[in-house]
Amino acid sequence: MRNRVDGPTPEVIRRHGPWTRITHWMWAVCVFFLLLSGLQIFNAHPVLYIGQQSGMTQGFDNAVLRIGAEGGQGSTPAKGVTQILGHRFDTTGVLGLSGPAAAPQPRAFPAWATIPSSQDLATGRVVHFFFAWALVGTLAIWAVASLVNGHLRRDILPGRRDLRGLGRDIVAHLRGPLRHGRRYSPVQKLTYFAVFFVLFPLMILTGLTMSPAMDAAWPLLLDLFGGRQTARSLHFLGMVLIVAFFVVHIAMVLVAGPLNELRSIVTGRYRITGDGQETEED
């Protein structure tokens, strides 16, 4: 007598094409080195301002973020302090002051979070610029390939149906469990659209705005972002948002089924359940 299995039979489909998978891992490598080398560059002057110039030498304070160390003289112990919009926080051991307890170092981000780990602005800039252009090249390859194979139209650009179903999809993600489907859900489409068409272009343009040579060639960049210092602050904010996306992305992979998700971005094969119309966050 045969055993009856309730529920839909899983089906394995081809979900990601080769160019989607290749550029995915190229982005992962680029973003990793850009993040750690960017923190190295930030450590050289760990203050963010709004405007064309910093008020440090102009007699006014337009800082929105400041990370540093205070004290350490006489009987006053040193401590790390992070100041955000005038609000001060003790971040000793993480930001401002970190390292071995016997000999902590006054630096904005700790040694383990920067490339190289020592204070070396020149090397950090070389690494950062190399992977910045690698990221631009990867984005160009992905855009062309996605136009040709339909990935952009099918999986990234949200349509009216996606916008109408966004509320239901958010509720479904909050309730769980996440289902394996053929197509990206509205939440996925809007998230990836924001990363590819908002965050990545923002990072590229604000990075160019911080270059005096690019400002001379394209002075419109300074007007677009309200000054070089504002561009630097927006560049930092974009980095924070990309890190937040990465954390949520990994969390969703773990919740949705890491083996199935990892297989889809390595081999392209993906196991779906149900009618395949509902999708999970991967």
pLDDT bin (cut points 50, 70, 90) of residue 45 is: very high
Contact 118, 111 (CB under 8 A): yes
Average pLDDT over residues 33-46: 96
Strand residue runs (E) in the chain: 11-14, 47-49, 63-70, 79-84, 87-90, 269-272
How much is the pLDDT for 8?
Answer: 56
- Domain borders along the chain are 11-46+113-272, 47-108
In 3D, which of 126, 125, 128, 147 has the Cα closest to residue 136? 128
Q: Which fold has domain 11-46+113-272?
A: Fumarate Reductase Cytochrome B subunit (1.20.950)
**Tens digits of per-residue pLDDT, 125-184?**
999 999 999 999 999 999 999 999 998 998 899 888 888 888 888 888 777 666 666 778
Average pLDDT over residues 244-249: 93
CA 75 to chain centre: 41
